[in-house]
Chains A and B, each alone.
Chain A
């Protein structure tokens, strides 16, 4: 006896879920935000508790693409006797949404229709005769606006009503199947046509639309998908987002977190340090090594100093700022438009435009980005996307540390790091797209209307993401700091340093102690970057180390998700690519920055390398086709 929420993508299933269960889930204004089944529970009017399941969106029960296939097959395997379906319908697009509704009604499952986005429909001048629709469909129809909570109580009443009925009426008046003979039934094509004409009849009866004039939002929607104005808007949006993140992040650090750490935490840890005798294992573990007789929050490496300062005062402000900016873009509905704009570029990299969404998410955290690769169609696309993501997209936690550590040397070094990562990102895409068999699937997606973000919903979403960050980051960071201290005390670091010294020093130009940071990078990138701080590296060494750290391996949390999404074999291939690319890029950067090789040579060399790979791949493909034809 469960409640399953089913509906087209981006109709607000997750918002309804959130209202019914009180569980907070991420909701956005674009298709594919929910890629997994989310479970929660709700208390019926009778006082009984029932499980509620938020199913990823689908346009049809006959899946038409990979993402829908997953949703439908999961749905088929889940549906049990006695379950009820809440079909969440977008009232502003009733006609298209009814297709799925009719398919659901053809099955023997009790259905309640939630006519969601009711406020928006009203606003758009769309009026729907709910009673008439209820009569035609023969199932309860409840207008709702899940974001504001309107109608949710009535929806709950109707759900409870059906669930109370021990033997609920399987279906109501509409009986599409019985209107046709069996022979006609067999002709699937005809059946689908019938479904659409049925929908046409229903719409004609229940829906009236009053004339609406062009609004400013309409114009903005149009402008953001036209080639020229679209690009201008995209550049403007990205610039503003970037500026806002920098402004909020820096502001929080300077005016909130640094004063708190200097004014409150420093006196406490300094006193504690004296109490602990200013040396010894416990002192080093909790307070760390003193720099010039004082605690250095960035470099001391104690649990209570660096272990708290890194996640809270250096990373959190930027993570918060990023999620505010990202959440606004998501809720406005901008990201799918960006996908349209970059579709051509992404095809050159082996994916369609929608792949830009995991990439953008990745700048916040690679874990949700790795999950979001599910919205991509093929295994090939997922593989390319995951590899590009792991190599070229550093998460906000890492970026915050990089900015903190390297920003003081000048923006040009940040430009070298991010420019190099971007070039790697492009190269990986181009090369993989050429050498992997198959081609990129075409783009086909719904573009949501622009919506003004709901401040409360937005705030909740940012808070959820921050909570996830804090819950994940702080334990990992503390664990990492502890781990490094143990390695130091046990002397393992020294022997590891000796083993890797030729490689690190000879090839990357790094001191052998940098092995600590590289080890830490498997666990968490922000701490790993932080560990470069006490090593006293030159700016060249810092740049090389950061590039290698960004690209060579995903952090532990991302690795686990990618392993599940790609499978062990593809993950192994992807990891090998990461290692080769990261150390290759690190070695080259070292050569260029130490002026051993002019940068022009490297650029020409890389272009030549890519050209050779492209030519060879093409030659191989031509020979294969010839063989096939001959």
Chain B
């Protein structure tokens, strides 16, 4: 899919595979996310979002991670239609 738009993680639908493009946050947040394996270039799938700006749950490298809404809105992603063949484990057939 060409010309993919960059959107914050919170506006992605559940179940949609996306790739992290940028994390617009200070060093602290970026490194916390990085330690959990979420960094620019990582493919993730959003699994759920609680109502009323509750935490967003994503799957990255086969691990589920809950991210507070504020943090999740600082993670910019782009949609990817086809995951590469060598997909991170646990990724579901979308």
Contact = CB atoms under 8 A, between A and B. Distances in A.
B35 A59 contact: yes
Given A59-B36, A192-B34, A227-B51, A447 B66 contact: yes
Interface residues of A, number: 41
Nearest to A60: B35
Contacts of A442: 67-71
Contacts of B48: 222, 225-227, 230
Contacts of A446: 36, 63-66
Interface in B14-49: 14, 28, 31-37, 39, 47-49
Given A340-B66, A343-B55, A212 B34 contact: no
Contacts of A221: 64
23 contacts: A59-B35, A60-B31, A62-B31, A64-B35, A93-B63, A95-B61, A96-B36, A204-B86, A209-B87, A221-B64, A222-B47, A222-B48, A226-B14, A227-B50, A336-B66, A340-B66, A352-B68, A443-B55, A444-B36, A444-B68, A446-B36, A446-B66, A449-B64
B55 A64 contact: no
A64 B53 CA distance: 24
A442 B26 CA distance: 14
A627 interface: no
B42 to A, nearest CB: 9
Interface size class of chain B, counting residues whose CB lies under 8 Å from the partner chain = 35 or more
A343 B35 CA distance: 22
B43 to A, nearest CB: 12
Interface of A: 59-60, 62, 64-65, 92-93, 95-96, 99, 124-126, 192, 196, 204, 209, 212, 214, 218, 221-222, 225-227, 230, 336, 339-341, 343-344, 352-353, 442-447, 449
A169 B33 CA distance: 34
Contacts of B54: 227, 340, 343-344
A64 B36 CA distance: 10
A339 B66 contact: yes
B83 to A, nearest CB: 12
Contacts of A64: 28, 31-32, 34-35
A71 B47 CA distance: 30
Contacts of B49: 227
A92 B68 contact: no
Interface string B62-88: 111111111100000000000000111
Nearest to B39: A196
Nearest to B52: A344
Nearest to B86: A204
Contact of A92 (B33, B37, B62): B62
A65 B89 contact: no
The 7 closest A-B pairs by CB, nearest first: A442-B68, A59-B35, A96-B37, A64-B32, A447-B64, A443-B68, A209-B89
B62 A444 contact: no
A65 B54 CA distance: 21
Contacts of B66: 225, 336, 339-340, 343, 353, 443-447
Contacts of B87: 209
Select the residue from B34, B35, B37 with max chain A CB neighbours within 10 A: B35
B89 A126 contact: yes
Nearest to B69: A442
Contacts of A125: 89
Contacts of B68: 343, 352, 442-444
B47 A225 contact: yes
B65 A447 contact: yes
Nearest to B42: A196
A444 B67 contact: yes
Contact of B57 (A92, A96, A126, A340): A340
A230 B68 CA distance: 17
Contacts of A65: 32
A212 B93 CA distance: 9
B9 to A, nearest CB: 13
Given A92-B62, A442-B70, A124 B89 contact: yes
Contacts of A226: 14, 48
A225 B57 contact: yes
A444 B32 contact: yes
Contacts of B33: 444
Contacts of A212: 89-90
